[in-house]
Amino acid sequence: MIYTDGFAQGLKPARVLAQSPRRFPGEDARYREARNALLAEEIELRRHIERVAALRRALPTGGKVPQEYRFDGEHGPATLAEMFGTHDTLIVYNWMYGPKTARSCPMCTSCLSALDGQMPDILQRVAFAVVARSPIERLVAFKNERGWRHLRLYSSGGNSFNRDYANEDPDGDDTPAFNVFTRTGGVLRHFWGEEMGPQTADPGQDPRGAPDIMPLWTLLDMTPAGRGKDWYPKLEYDAPAAVAGRAGSCCHDDTNPATDGGTHAEPT
Q: Is the pLDDT of residue 256 over 60?
A: no
Q: What is the pLDDT of residues 116-150, one digit of tens each?
A: 999 999 999 999 999 999 999 999 999 999 999 99
Q: What is the pLDDT of residues 27-63, one digit of tens each?
A: 999 999 999 999 999 999 999 999 999 999 999 999 9
CA distance 167 to 144: 28
Radius of gyration of the chain from Cα atoms? 21
Q: According to the model, what pLDDT value does residue 238 have? A: 87
> How far from each other are the two terminal CA atoms of the chain, in whole angstroms?
31
Q: According to the model, what pLDDT value does residue 251 have? A: 53
Q: pLDDT band at 175, cuts 50/70/90?
A: confident
Q: According to the model, what pLDDT value does residue 230 have? A: 86
Please compute the mean of the pLDDT values over residues 236-257 and round it to a whole number: 54
Q: According to the model, what pLDDT value does residue 9 have? A: 62
Task: Please report, rounded to a whole number, the percentage of residues in the chain having pLDDT higher than 90.
Answer: 68
Please give the model's pTM, rounded to 2 decimal places. Answer: 0.84
Q: According to the model, what pLDDT value does residue 193 have? A: 95
Q: According to the model, what pLDDT value does residue 3 have? A: 41
CA atoms within 13 A on the CB side of 170: 0
Top pLDDT among 240 and 67 is at 67
Please compute the mean of the pLDDT values over residues 155-159 and round it to a whole number: 94
Instruction: Give 127's DSSP letter.
Output: E
Q: Is the pLDDT of residue 246 over 60?
A: no
DSSP helix/strand/coil, 84: coil
Q: According to the model, what pLDDT value does residue 71 have? A: 98
Q: According to the model, what pLDDT value does residue 258 have? A: 43
Q: According to the model, what pLDDT value does residue 8 have? A: 54
What is the overall mean pLDDT for the chain?
Answer: 86
CB within 8 Å of 233: residues ≥ 6 apart: 106, 107, 109, 110, 216, 248
CA distance 49 to 59: 16
Q: According to the model, what pLDDT value does residue 5 have? A: 40
Q: According to the model, what pLDDT value does residue 168 have? A: 76
As assigned by CATH, the class of the 61-268 domain is alpha beta
Q: According to the model, what pLDDT value does residue 198 have? A: 78
Q: Is the pLDDT of residue 259 over 60?
A: no
